[in-house]
Amino acid sequence: METTFPVCATCAVEHAERIDVCRICADERQWVPADGQVWTTLAELAASGREARVAELEPDLHGITTAPSVGIGQTALLVGTPAGNLLWDPIGYLDDGLVEQVRGFGEVVAIAASHPHMFGVQVEWSRALGGPPVLVAEADREWIARPDPVIRTWSGRTEIAPGLALVQIGGHFPGSAVAHWAAGAGGKGVLLAGDTIMACPDRTWVSFQRSYPNRIPLSAAVVDRVAKAVEGLEFDRLYSNFGNQVPTDAHAAVRRSADRYIGWVRGDFDHLT
């Protein structure tokens, strides 16, 4: 395992070399710290006492985090199927012990992120897990900061395993994607949505943004397009990121939330302000 390549301390995305500022963080959807760009490495993160944690969220689905968190602090999701596993939204950290735990759940056949903020150390994860492809939406390939032959681009829809597929729906980024897992939620279906569709703290609504930290909205037309893109998928539960989820009736929640969002940006509720 290589441990000295640069990792942006703010977003935890791996880079081939240190540059003046991480492009992902300099973009209007993210931020550069007030004190300027900070770089770290896997070796430094390990020496700082990071502890990896793997927790079962439901049968065949595990969440992977670190304490203290790394970068944005996303939760990676490991989806298990009889034909192989998907590592979704890979975190910006790994060590030998964590890799051993992930391998213990079966072969990882693909690694994919919902959007560039969640690339993490995706190439290093692939190398540690025996070389499964790292799938990056063609529309977002410009954000790859550590090119490698294991990276493969895709568009539209791609099958990972029977009953497990990536679907590009755009919004947050042009290539923003969800993973549809048909066997999840006891066969009712699960949508892994990252920030593409964000579960709200009340666990019954979702939201859509160009930038969550900088509060940049999407247009009504784009939100309607995103909601329509998942209407044909069967799912009862939705996992976004940072531990947020809609545990049941998520399919209806997406449409209901899109309609509420559209109504507000259209001015339907201006009398309440």
The token duo for 217 is 């909205």
- Structural domain that includes position 201: 7-272
Q: Which residues pair with 161 in a beta bridge?
A: 164
Per-residue confidence band for 110, with pLDDT thresholds at 50, 70 and 90: very high
Quote the number of domains for the chain.
1
Q: Which residues pair with 67 in a beta bridge?
A: 51
In a domain, residue 159? The reply is yes
CB 13 within 8 A of CB 145: yes
In a domain, residue 1? The reply is no
- CATH number, domain at 103? 3.60.15.10
pLDDT tens-digit series, residues 156-199: 999 999 999 999 999 999 999 999 999 999 999 999 999 999 99
Helix/strand/coil percent split, the chain, to 5: 25, 25, 50
CB 190 within 8 A of CB 61: yes
In a domain, residue 70? The reply is yes
Q: Are strands 237-239 and 190-192 parallel, antiparallel or unpaired?
A: parallel
Angle at 148 between CA 133 and CA 5, to 5 degrees: 115
Query: Where in the chain does DSSP place strands (E)?
Result: 7-8, 39-40, 51-58, 61-67, 76-79, 85-88, 108-112, 134-137, 151-154, 157-161, 164-168, 177-181, 190-192, 198-199, 206-207, 237-239, 245-246
Give the residue-averaged pLDDT of 83-100.
Answer: 98
CA distances from 185 to 10, 190, 235, 237, 259 (A): 33, 6, 8, 6, 25
Distance from the Cα of residue 266 to its chain's centroid: 29
Q: Rounded to an integer, what distance in angstroms lies between the CA atom of residue 227 and that of residue 230?
A: 6
pLDDT tens-digit series, residues 119-138: 999 999 999 999 999 999 99
Write the CB contacts of 260 (distance below 8 Å, at least 6 apart in sequence).
Answer: 205
pTM of this prediction?
Answer: 0.97
In a domain, residue 204? The reply is yes
Instruction: Give the burial class of 270: count Cβ atoms within 10 A of its Cβ; 0-12 exposed, 13-18 middle, 19 or more buried.
Output: exposed
In a domain, residue 236? The reply is yes
Output the pLDDT for position 221.
Answer: 98
Question: Is the Cα dihedral 240, 244, 246, 252 positive or negative?
Answer: negative
Output the pLDDT for position 266.
Answer: 97
Give the residue-averaged pLDDT of 213-235.
Answer: 97
Output the pLDDT for position 11.
Answer: 98
Tell me the backbone φ, ψ of residue 30, rounded to 5 degrees: -130, -160
In a domain, residue 230? The reply is yes
Output the pLDDT for position 122.
Answer: 98
Per-residue confidence band for 96, with pLDDT thresholds at 50, 70 and 90: very high
The residue whose two tokens read 């109504």 is 263
Output the pLDDT for position 130.
Answer: 98
In a domain, residue 2? The reply is no
Q: Rounded to an integer, what distance in angstroms lies between the CA atom of residue 76 and that of residue 142?
A: 22
Per-residue confidence band for 71, with pLDDT thresholds at 50, 70 and 90: very high
Output the pLDDT for position 244.
Answer: 94
Q: Rounded to an integer, what distance in angstroms lies between the CA atom of residue 6 and that of residue 16?
A: 7
Output the pLDDT for position 22.
Answer: 98
Q: Give the burial string for 158-196 (b: 16+ CB within 10 Å, else e).
A: bebbebbbbbbbbbbbebbbbbbbbbbbeebbbbbbbbb
In a domain, residue 106? The reply is yes
Output the pLDDT for position 32.
Answer: 97
Mean pLDDT, all residues of the chain? 97
pLDDT tens-digit series, residues 23-43: 999 999 999 999 999 999 999
